[in-house]
Amino acid sequence: MYKPKNQTVWASDIAEYLNAELHGEDVLLQGPRAVRTLDIHRVLQQESEEQLPWLLLTATDLPVPAAERYVISTHPERDLALVLQEFFAVPIAEGIHPTASISQGALLGRNVCIGAYAIIDSGVEIGDSVWVMNHAVIHGPARIGRGTVIKDGAVVGSEGYGFVVDESGKRVHVPQLGRVLIGEQVWIGSHTTIERGLLVDTMIEEGVKIDDFVHIGNGCHIGRNSLITAGCVLAYRVQLGENVTLAPNVSVRECCRIASGVLVGQGGVVIQNIDVAGTYVGVPARELIMSK
């Protein structure tokens, strides 16, 4: 996690860091700015309306004078992230905030950061270099893998939503006694909820990235490197394979399985298993077949 760092950087330093050639004159850059429009005829309108020196990361060799100053990159988005980390951002200070509540029954690894008013329950195991941010809550039993980020207001390990009807017709809550197991390098967004299972563990595997305002029901299993974006709802015991992408506001019915490599488009509703990789859209979600 980072905050902005105010510093000026020579364009040549950025090119050298990327092992790339600087095309054009070397200049001192004032910092990153949002590009509002980029016209191929040399017009770069910056958010500040100032005509300051600028450097373009591009995937192709641009004809002069299309860009006065540029670096050719095979992966511009990745290289931009690296440049921002190296030159224009500084990590937020590590440590445990004095207002955090950490149970004596919790186990914390090395270099763990716990934010203000966060709550870590008994039976929680937190690996090395984990970030638990402000007002996040983690209930046990749960295990959080190394390098995971849990953002502000997220709730991990609360009891799942499970009720049965008793003899008098009243709905009685069924105790949820499973665990939440989260792998390494997972990202859990703000105000996301991840329920522990009834008896089956809720599992989030390595490299999964979960956006803000997502609900993961009890007993779900999310495969490696899957992406779940804002507003998605997964009912109980949903299973996602590896590298699944759920676009914003996707809903998945209870106990559905989604195969590895599937992308479900924005607002899609999955009501049955998806067994073949591909793109699925609509209500209910159906495979998108592109005509030739």
pLDDT of 24 above 90: no
In degrees and rounded to multiples of 5, residue 15 shows phi and psi of -60, -45
Q: Which of the four pLDDT bands, split at 50, 70 and 90, describes residue 289?
A: confident
Q: Which of the four pLDDT bands, split at 50, 70 and 90, describes residue 85?
A: confident
Q: What is the pTM of this model?
A: 0.82
The reported pLDDT for the residue numbered 119 is: 97
Residue of 5 and 203 predicted with greater confidence: 203
pLDDT of 64 above 70: no
The reported pLDDT for the residue numbered 151 is: 96
Q: Which of the four pLDDT bands, split at 50, 70 and 90, describes residue 61?
A: low
In degrees and rounded to multiples of 5, residue 290 shows phi and psi of -85, 125
Mean pLDDT over residues 205-212, rounded? 98
pLDDT of 5 above 50: yes
Q: Which of the four pLDDT bands, split at 50, 70 and 90, describes residue 277?
A: very high
Q: Which of the four pLDDT bands, split at 50, 70 and 90, describes residue 43?
A: very low
Mean pLDDT over residues 190-209, rounded? 95
Q: Which of the four pLDDT bands, split at 50, 70 and 90, describes residue 51?
A: low
> How many other C-beta atoms lie within 10 A of the C-beta of residue 158?
17
The reported pLDDT for the residue numbered 38 is: 47
